[in-house]
Amino acid sequence: MPYILTECWYPAHLDQKVAQRYLETLQKMPIPSIIKRLVPAASTTSKKGIEVVNIDDVKNKDLGEGLEYAHDFMAKFHDIEGFKYQVRVLSTVSEALKRIGVG
């Protein structure tokens, strides 16, 4: 089962605006049952400002739907200047080992 990694960065002075948008969006777009959220909105500070990470576990057959949800959710932040994000798919250890003939 692949992981969907969603990362975002934004200036620290936008923390209240981003937090409010996150809560509003989560209420309008609850996490679908096909997604098991392993790491929900873990955050830290850095030179880039605030960094937030979600890690979601989905079944292979649900990957497309999971990615669509992640991108649609993050699109709700497009109007916040300085907000940046990326959504990536990561392999589990067993998937990666199978690809190189070890698993």
Structure tokens that stand for 47 in this block? 């030179």
Homologous superfamily of domain range 3-99: ACT domain (3.30.70.260)
Residue type, 21: R
Rounded to whole angstroms, the Cα distance separating 22 from 27 reads 9
pTM: 0.89
- pLDDT for position 82: 96
* pLDDT < 70 regions, the chain: 103
Q: Which residues are within 8 A (CB) of 35 and not within 5 positions of it... i.e. 6 or more apart?
A: 4, 56, 57, 58, 62, 66, 69
- pLDDT for position 103: 67
Element at 54 (helix H, strand E)? strand 49-57
